[in-house]
Homo-oligomer: A and B are copies of this chain.
């Protein structure tokens, strides 16, 4: 096989070698490959063919060293589970073409000094920007201002109003959920949610109350706070059904809680959605599609969040103002069988 690289360990091909094979200087080779105009068509063709033959890949490090751009962003997270961070990452990756921007994913494991380590490592790799993703929507400490690259906080906003934060609009999410329940003809709605120290929990309550007010309704009973687990969803719903047997909808603070609610409803012979409608938040695929019936949920549109975070970073590099403050991303209602009978 003539021209084939040696198997297993061929060293990377440099522009110099391409130029030599094409019989031109490195300068010309560079211009030919980058579509500069000062090169003859025939010469360009020779260079391109040589590059192809050697399967030349330009060294982004060397380019970045010169140009000051690396085409990479750092994604700093403390969200172990990755339920939130992965859609955000995929969105950021897709913000431009495939392979145009690559993402360094670093997990700080919720540890501040580990975060500092990772931050330093990312900066030393000359990422063009930083996306900081928290595991809850409460504000988190800023990583600082005197960084050489733009920083965007996603999901969890920075506690510094000078920073730019992109977060899901949980108030709107709460409102959207209740509006949907009302439009399904429900009026006796109870709310089971998770840890009250989470801003997400509070915001959704706020939104839900607003929508109820607008319809002249009130929540049945107090909001039931505890933890974001199925177990709590089951237990809370059991209490709820005993105390208020006439409720016709349970607004659940997460898909997990909603699954628990579905289980209890089923155990007690309440039909969903016939007797009781159930709705969750997050639209977590594995949760919503495997329950009986499938679960209506509010999707926070995390992928869009990641995409716009990356776009903001690169816009800032092009001289645009990065912006500041907390910006929200509108949620999306995904209707399934737990609120509307199918078929």
Which positions in A face B, CB cutoff 8 Å?
4-13, 55, 57-62, 64-65, 70, 72, 80-82, 86, 89-90, 93, 98-100, 102-107, 114, 117-118, 120-126, 145-148, 162, 229-231, 234, 256, 259-260, 263, 285-287, 290, 292, 322
Most buried by B among A55, A62, A118, A125: A125
Copies of this chain in the oligomer: 2
B93 pairs with A106, CB closer than 8 A: yes
A59 pairs with B126, CB closer than 8 A: yes
Q: A10-B146, A57-B124 are in contact. List 19 more A-B contacts (CB 8 A).
A: A5-B146, A8-B146, A10-B147, A11-B148, A12-B123, A12-B126, A13-B148, A57-B120, A60-B124, A60-B125, A60-B126, A61-B62, A62-B65, A82-B82, A93-B106, A99-B114, A99-B117, A104-B104, A256-B286
A103 pairs with B104, CB closer than 8 A: yes
B102 pairs with A125, CB closer than 8 A: yes
Q: How far is A263 from B4 in the complex, measured between Cα atoms in Å?
A: 58
* With A146-B8, A146-B10: A98-B117 Cβ-Cβ less than 8 Å: yes
Measured CB to CB, the closest approach of chain B to A33, in angstroms, equals 12
Residues of chain B within 8 A (CB-CB) of A81 are: 86, 285-286
Chain B residue at smallest Cβ distance from A66: B61
Residues of chain B within 8 A (CB-CB) of A102 are: 104, 106, 121-122, 125
Residues of chain B within 8 A (CB-CB) of A55 are: 146
B105 pairs with A61, CB closer than 8 A: no
A230 pairs with B86, CB closer than 8 A: no
B65 pairs with A61, CB closer than 8 A: yes
Contact of A89 among B6, B65, B99, B105 (CB under 8 A): B105
Residues of chain B within 8 A (CB-CB) of A322 are: 8
Residues of chain B within 8 A (CB-CB) of A287 are: 286
A121 pairs with B148, CB closer than 8 A: no
* With A82-B82, A86-B82: A7-B124 Cβ-Cβ less than 8 Å: no
A59 pairs with B98, CB closer than 8 A: no
B9 pairs with A148, CB closer than 8 A: yes
